[in-house]
Structure 1
């Protein structure tokens, strides 16, 4: 029990002291994880688990949309907004239809978004 408590303290501290960039990567790690859990749950015919995890993934992308400053980010932010909206749309369809094929289409896109942000974060660290 004590080890579990230590892990929770560590987890809370890692979130509380993370930079904006690190928090973004944590969110995207969650999106990748939840989308894969949702996909597996569809395969396992666990409708409730599939729904819950796909919705968690959608919620992450809704939050990312809310954090976008499109006027400031201009064309780049508009493009990102379209990618996020596409991901949400595909997740909604996958959830409604419980369709593994759609999940297999969207998961690599989610992973690409995550990897792109990680690359940008690493470049920004080396240039600072």
Structure 2
């Protein structure tokens, strides 16, 4: 009963979220799944590592395709950063090497912090 209620709540929170809130959910999910993938590599759980890193790659694919690149150089630069992160995630998934995932997790966390800060600043001026 409670699990079903939670699933309905989660579904509604996504269905009624603003574009900005969805972006925040995506980048928070990227941090979560990247860290889960890292832990799965440590635990030698290849399937979980693959699944977690693939989900993180999918999030960065979504971020890349949803980015409005007509806004100038900064959006093109951000697109390139997303592409770099995605490439590193693919490499981490293929090799299952901690040093690769350890290189990219701080970048994912920085992206999360960036969008959290942008969202807070935008709410101040709304």
Q: TM-score range by the shorter chain?
A: over 0.9
Q: Residues 88-115 of structure 1, C-alpha deviation per residue, up to 9 Å, x if partnerless?
A: 1111111111011111111111011011
1:10 shift after superposition: 1.0
Q: How does 1:1-128 map to 2 (within 5 A)?
A: 2-70=1-69, 72-128=70-126
Query: What TM-score do you get using the length of structure 1 for normalisation?
Result: 0.95
Q: How many residues are matched?
A: 126
Equivalent-residue separation in structure 1 for 2:108 and 2:71 (angstroms): 21
Q: CA deviation at 1:68?
A: 1.2
After TM superposition, the score normalised by the length of structure 2 is: 0.97
How far apart in 2 are the matches of 1:54 and 1:47? Answer: 10
In 2: Cα distance, 1:63 partner to 1:10 partner: 23
- Which runs of no fewer than 5 residues in structure 1 stay unpaired? none
> Shift in Å at residue 9 of structure 1?
1.4
Unaligned runs of 5+ in 2: none
